[in-house]
Amino acid sequence: MEQNYNTRRSFLKSLGVTLGVAGLGVSSGVLTSCSKVSSVSPEGKIRLLTPGGTLVEVDASQLTPAEMPSLTDNQKRGRLGMEGKSWVMVIDLSKCRNARQCMAACQNHHQLRPEQHHINVLQMQDAEHTAPYYMPKPCMHCDNPPCTKVCPVNATFKRADGIVLIDNERCIGCRFCIAACPYSARVFNWFEPRDAEKYEGVTYNIEANVPQKKGTISKCLFSADLLRDGKLPSCVSACPNSVYWFGDRNEDAVTNGTTKETVSFSKLIRDNGAYTLMEELGTKPRVYYLPPKNRTFPFEGELIEKGHQG
């Protein structure tokens, strides 16, 4: 019995050492791939490519491993949000011609299958005799979000800069939030996510919700990881028709993703008669729509026929 116990202990010990070494190897591999080492010269100098694109030589002894946010740091940071910011989006319906570049960019960024949409371009016709139009519909990032109230495990939450996020490390896949959301903004990972094998072993980034996990919820998050880098969300910068304006309500400025023009947010929504979707529900959405007036593109979708509206 004693003998047996010792063997198991030594086995566990050696296993721990092996795993630790393997972990070190993997992490150093990750570090080298990130700093883009191009070659090691004989004098112990290492050539590195800076983010600016210039090649520099650094003495090998001078190198320190870069600090990468761990999963818990990332989750903590992701829960707090960016201080002093209050993100808003304005969607100009008169410019949308259903190019669907926003949807493609979003699905690439957030590892979504073709049938999953964080943002979806819908064909709308408000009444029988009104003109149909295209309407991109992301998450509204409500200031009174019904979805976060129903989560039994505190996986989905609203943070200080206004973004509603989902933590798929906590999500149990009950889908209460899907039922609670009046905008149908959430999707469920019924199957293995797209390119699942490519993302194997990647640390979960809560601000991009990547890698996705089967059996959890995913939703639009205004590309919170890009915002942290000072970049516009991927749908906003992918649009070729200047549909999207994005910015900080505290600063009262929104920037167009296509033309990069910056205008006053309050003036833009005041002058163009902006509205929000289903505000009668008291959800206080953060996505504003400019009405489809003076359109630059004709509607080419299918019209709803009389009597087919169920």
Partner 1 sequence: MRKFFFLSAAVLFLLPGLQGFSQVWEVPADQDALKNPSAFNNENVKAGRELYNTHCKSCHGDPGKNNALPLVPPPPDVTSEQMLQNSEGALFYKITTGRVAMPAFETTLTEEQRWRIVSFMKSFDPANEGLLVKEEPVKARLQGAADETAKVLTLSAQTLNASGEWMPLPHADLFISAKRTFGSLAIGQAKTNGSGHAEFKFPEEFKGDWEGLVDLRVTLGEDFSCDPLVMNRLKIAAPADTENLFADRVLWSTNDRTQWWLILAYLGVVGGVWLVIGYVIFQILKIYKAGKE
Residues lying near partner 1 in the complex (CB under 8 A): 79, 84-86, 95, 97, 99, 143-145, 148-149, 154, 157-158, 160, 162, 230, 232, 240-242, 246-253, 255, 258-264, 294-298
Distance of CA 88 to the CA centre of its chain: 15
CA-to-CA distance for 240 and 257, rounded, in angstroms? 9
Q: Spell out the residues 6+ positions from residue 303 whose beta carbon is closer than 8 angstroms to its own.
A: 125, 132
**Smallest gap from residue 250 Cβ to partner 1 (A):** 5
**Smallest gap from residue 69 Cβ to partner 1 (A):** 20
CA-to-CA distance for 147 and 286, rounded, in angstroms? 15
**Smallest gap from residue 163 Cβ to partner 1 (A):** 10
Spell out a b/e string for 237-273, using b for 16 or more CB atoms within 10 Å of the CB, else e.
Answer: bbbebbbbbbbbbeeebbbbbbeeeebebeebbeebe
**Smallest gap from residue 79 Cβ to partner 1 (A):** 8
Going by DSSP bridges, is the β-strand pair 55-59/87-92 parallel, antiparallel, or unpaired?
unpaired
**Smallest gap from residue 297 Cβ to partner 1 (A):** 5
Q: Looking at beta carbons only, is 112 or 142 nearer to partner 1?
A: 142
Q: Looking at beta carbons only, is 48 or 169 nearer to partner 1?
A: 169
Q: Looking at beta carbons only, is 64 or 294 nearer to partner 1?
A: 294
Q: Is 55 left (phi over 0), alpha (psi -120 to 50) or beta?
A: beta
CA-to-CA distance for 149 and 283, rounded, in angstroms? 12
Q: Looking at beta carbons only, is 87 or 204 nearer to partner 1?
A: 87
Q: Looking at beta carbons only, is 45 or 97 nearer to partner 1?
A: 97
**Smallest gap from residue 254 Cβ to partner 1 (A):** 8
Q: Is 190 left (phi over 0), alpha (psi -120 to 50) or beta?
A: alpha
**Smallest gap from residue 269 Cβ to partner 1 (A):** 15
CB-count burial class (<10 Å; 0-12, 13-18, 19+) for 200:
exposed
Q: Looking at beta carbons only, is 298 or 310 nearer to partner 1?
A: 298
Q: Looking at beta carbons only, is 106 or 238 nearer to partner 1?
A: 238
Is 180:225 a contact under the CB 8 Å cutoff?
Answer: no
CA-to-CA distance for 87 and 266, rounded, in angstroms? 13
